[in-house]
Amino acid sequence: MGAHRFPSLEQVYDEIERLVEEHGQVARVECLGLSDEGREVRAVHVTDPGAGDDDKQVAMIVCGRHGSELGTRVVGTAALGWLVSDEAAPTRQRQHVIVVPVANPDGCAAEAFGAPPWHLSATERRTLGRVAGELRPDAILDVHSFGAEDADLLAVVTGNNTEEAEDRFIYGTVAARLVETAGGAGYPFVVHTEKRNEGYNNFIAGLCYDQFHSLSLGMEANHHVLTPEGAAAAGLAVVRALLAEGDRRAPWEACTGYPTGLLRGDFFTSIRPAGPHAAARRRSRATVWRDRRFFHLGRRQAPSPNVVRTTVHYSGDPQDAAAHAFTLCCRVRGSSRPARVELNGQRIDADIHRDVCSTYVSAAVQPTGPQTYELVVTS
């Protein structure tokens, strides 16, 4: 294949065993299942067990779905090497990170692509799909690697998601930061925005977007022009930049974490998950996102310059409504606390968060059946 010697499957697995043995207090290996040829598909979980799981973000880094993409073989171990370091201690406190260093061990052993071109393989569904279903990651990065046919390119891929709500803006913003950080580390990435099935098959990222509204990105390292050390450093730069997104608060989000909470609407009026902590909001996010057809935002109105009126019609059945607790969020100008907030004519004590120029006013709503909700914010 390429001019450089990338590690074998055995070498990758030896390296993760060494890392986990040395850092057993923060890292553990899970066998997600066996490949068609009986090889283990391993995942490494890294987190600080002393920090509460309910408050953590969950991120998944999946490498090596394509066995011929040698550059992926060094990204998982590089990510793990950083994740167990002292520098990553704050990230371990805030996040539970799952790294799959070689998702396709049969392909890796054969040095062959070894995967269907248009969908996840049965092994991927059984291993990656299962763990994603259990953990509902807040963010997922599907790591691939370019070879000679793609010259010296390096790419962050925003494909395999949609343009609902503000996701186009959010993906563009996050991808730009990943590219900028990787550039600072000396690696020139571009952003590829291909739509579903138009050249990229980041299918595990697509599954997580579809099912959980995860922040779902792909990456292409390069094993043609980069040495294993170079591919590891380039990949790690992008991984670290993505993990940093989970350690910060996006201006429009109420809490620190990956910017996945805007499910319907836009930055001015939106439907968001409900719940007192990250784990509850993660469950709520997956449910409201799956059933987003039940949430219809009305036209925003400003009956006077200091009053904003927003509505949402919920159309779910009473038996579905219990699982559809949601947050109706209205952004208004300025940073002062609104004089009055009303939900369906009742004065409420709304939750407030701010960005540099505006205030986000959030009302918790528990629907019981089809109903229209009206939020009126008076500044």
Q: Which residues bind Zn ion (CB under 5 A)?
A: 66, 69, 144
Judged by beta carbon, residue 232 or residue 262, the one nearer Zn ion is 232
Min dist CB 76 to Zn ion, Å, is 14
Min dist CB 69 to Zn ion, Å, is 5
Q: How many CA atoms lie within 13 A of 39 on its CB side?
A: 17
186: left (phi over 0), alpha (psi -120 to 50) or beta: left
Judged by beta carbon, residue 157 or residue 286, the one nearer Zn ion is 157
Min dist CB 213 to Zn ion, Å, is 24
* Strand 57-63 to 155-157 pairing: unpaired
In this structure, what DSSP letter does residue 50 have? Answer: T
Question: Taking CB positions, which residue lies at the least distance from Zn ion?
Answer: 144
The whole-angstrom distance between residue 238's C-alpha and the CA centroid of its chain comes to 13
- One DSSP character per residue, 288-303 reads HHHTGGGEEE---EEE
SS3 354: strand
Report which of 362, 178, 355, 196 is spatially closest to residue 265, judged by C-alpha positions. Answer: 362
Instruction: Give the Cα separation of 32 and 237 in Å (integer).
Output: 26
Min dist CB 218 to Zn ion, Å, is 8
Min dist CB 170 to Zn ion, Å, is 24
Judged by beta carbon, residue 129 or residue 159, the one nearer Zn ion is 159
Where in 104-263 does DSSP place strands (E)? Answer: 139-146, 155-157, 190-192, 215-222
Judged by beta carbon, residue 69 or residue 138, the one nearer Zn ion is 69
Judged by beta carbon, residue 15 or residue 69, the one nearer Zn ion is 69
Judged by beta carbon, residue 45 or residue 66, the one nearer Zn ion is 66
Min dist CB 156 to Zn ion, Å, is 14
